[in-house]
Amino acid sequence: MIGLSQSTYYYQSKVPRKDRDETDADLRDKMETLQANYSCWGYRTLRAQLRLRFGLQVNGKRILRVMHTYDLFRQIKRRFIRTTNSEHGYPVYPNLLKGFEVTDVNQVWVADITYIRILTGFVFLAVILDVFSCRSMGWGIAKRIDHRLTLEALRMALRERNPRAGLIHHSDQGVQYACTQYDTA
What secondary structure letter does DSSP report for 102?
P
Question: Which pLDDT does position 77 carry in this prediction?
Answer: 63
Weakly modelled stretches of the chain, pLDDT under 50: none
Question: Which pLDDT does position 81 carry in this prediction?
Answer: 63
- For the chain, domains (ranges, CATH) are 6-70 (no CATH), 108-184 (3.30.420.10)
What distance in Å separates the CA atoms of residue 21 and residue 15, rounded to the nearest whole number?
10
For 4-34, write each residue's pLDDT tens digit: 888 887 777 788 888 888 899 999 999 988 8
Q: Which residue, 169, 115, 99, 165, is CA-closest to 137?
A: 169
Q: Are 106 and 167 in contact (CB under 8 A)?
A: yes
Question: Which pLDDT does position 75 carry in this prediction?
Answer: 63
Question: Which pLDDT does position 78 carry in this prediction?
Answer: 63
What distance in Å separates the CA atoms of residue 119 and residue 117, rounded to the nearest whole number?
7
Question: Which pLDDT does position 83 carry in this prediction?
Answer: 63
